[in-house]
Amino acid sequence: MQTQNELHRRALAHYARGEFSAAFELIMELQEVGTLPSELQELLDDIQLQLKLAEVAVQAREAPAPPRRSARPIAIVLLALGAILLMGGGVLFWPRPATPPSTTAAPPTPTSTRAPTATPVPTATPVATATPLPSATLPVPSATPAPNRSGLLRVLLPERQEAVMRSPRNVAIILDASGSMQARVGTQTRIAITRSAVSAMINDLPAETKLALRTYGSQRSRDCGDLTLVRALDRHDRSAFLADLAQIEPAFEGMTPTGAALAALVDDLRGAEGSSVAILVSDGEENCGGDPVAASRALVEANPQLRIHVIGLDIGDAAAAARLREIAKVGRGSYFAVDSTTNLAEALREAVQLSYSVLSLSGEPMASGQVGGAALQLAPGSYRILLDSDPPVELVTSVRADDQAILRLSPDGQKLELATQP
């Protein structure tokens, strides 16, 4: 569903920039998945009209001008007729030779009959030269950029509330302890930065929060089966939990079986009640042939109340960052790119903040966000806003084009209210 929402968002963005062909292709992809919402159907009709106008304009510009009729054949005909007339006149008026005088009496000369005058050949009427038709020119309609028809949705914390309002009941941490985590960021190793930030987050969580901790790449070199469940999901003594966390060290040339570690969470979270969050902290991508994106998708399908957040630590490769981001996307979570202890701590705090889902009125997931986080861009329409809380909190609201719908969580965390000011 996240993929459909992304296609929807990109189609609106292309339409707003006047890129109608790109918007048309994305809407066609959405149509293959299911029935289009009414607002997208209207958008599709307008795009088809714009494309048709552009096609007519191109055809008009490319149409060849009618061929000009040459006057040379006509001129040749006239010259030929003139020559014939001159030749005919010469035959008719050439002088006859004189008859010599005869010495004998000549019989009476018969009266000569005058030759009939030759009928003049009629002069050919000149054929009018065809006047060339003007080239057909149609005004090319200029593509007017379509207005941005999307709107924004923000869900705010209660006034004067800045700390974590309500955390999920279950938090599962997957810690990358592969060999690359020994690399340094400034004066500290990546694993040291990670241990410090995770410890700070755990100390901020309520005592009733259940925790689980899993690592990979920490025990053996070049072993894709190196997966370790350090702490099973439970309400642990925090001191003991943090002591185990402090002992995690990367193995030399430890591998990164991210897909297998995510797949193992199915058993780690079995029996979990209420909202759950899985947090993957990693400095690189899968290198054991697994499919972490498919594993993330299977996890949320098995556990509808689960969100999977991914924190990319000092990721220098854009392609690797994109693949980690996709894990979070299909896991209905967020991706955080960090490069320091401070940034990592902030990302972890945000990952356990209260989150919410945006559903269609029929219950289809459309988007997700975090209370107090960034605004979501949505197509105009009515939506169900569902807090991932215990018990769940729900409100139906509308998003209008070029406008912002603002909701605020009540101080007791029991309801969502419309707000007029951020």
At 148, is the pLDDT very low, low, confident or very high (cuts 50, 70, 90)?
low
Q: Which tens digit of pLDDT belongs to each residue from 175-223? A: 999 999 999 988 899 999 999 999 999 998 888 999 999 999 999 999 9
pLDDT on residue 147: 53
Closest CA to 263 of 223, 283, 293, 306: 293
Q: Which tens digit of pLDDT belongs to each residue from 210-223? A: 999 999 999 999 99
Considering 13-22, 40-49, 147-156, 282-291, the range whose residues carry the highest mean pLDDT is: 282-291
Check whether residue 203 and residue 345 sit in a common domain.
yes
% of the chain surpassing 90 pLDDT: 39
- Can you give the residue range of the structural domain that contains 192? 167-353
295 pLDDT more than 80:
yes
Higher pLDDT, residue 320 or 49: 320
pLDDT on residue 8: 76
At 64, is the pLDDT very low, low, confident or very high (cuts 50, 70, 90)?
low
What CATH number should be reported for the domain holding residue 212? Answer: 3.40.50.410
User: Does residue 371 form part of some domain?
Assistant: yes
What CATH number should be reported for the domain holding residue 155? Answer: 2.60.40
Q: What is the mean pLDDT of the chain?
A: 78
pLDDT on residue 3: 62
- Residues 59-84 have a mean pLDDT of 53
- Residues 248-273 have a mean pLDDT of 95
Select from 326, 353, 380 the last residue of a domain: 353
Closest CA to 230 of 201, 195, 204, 274: 195
Select from 317, 337, 353 the last residue of a domain: 353
Check whether residue 275 and residue 178 sit in a common domain.
yes
Higher pLDDT, residue 273 or 79: 273
User: Does residue 7 form part of some domain?
Assistant: yes
At 109, is the pLDDT very low, low, confident or very high (cuts 50, 70, 90)?
very low
How far apart CA 62 and CA 56 sit, in angstroms, is 10
The answer to whether 160 and 372 are in contact (CB under 8 A) is no
278 pLDDT more than 90:
yes
Check whether residue 191 and residue 340 sit in a common domain.
yes
pLDDT on residue 164: 45
At 97, is the pLDDT very low, low, confident or very high (cuts 50, 70, 90)?
very low
At 409, is the pLDDT very low, low, confident or very high (cuts 50, 70, 90)?
confident
Check whether residue 200 and residue 158 sit in a common domain.
no
47 pLDDT more than 60:
yes
> Token pair for residue 280?
């993957």
Higher pLDDT, residue 60 or 37: 37
- Residues 85-102 have a mean pLDDT of 42
% of the chain surpassing 70 pLDDT: 73
pLDDT on residue 85: 45
Check whether residue 315 and residue 368 sit in a common domain.
no
- Residues 135-163 have a mean pLDDT of 65
pLDDT on residue 344: 86
User: How many domains is the chain partitioned into structurally?
Assistant: 3
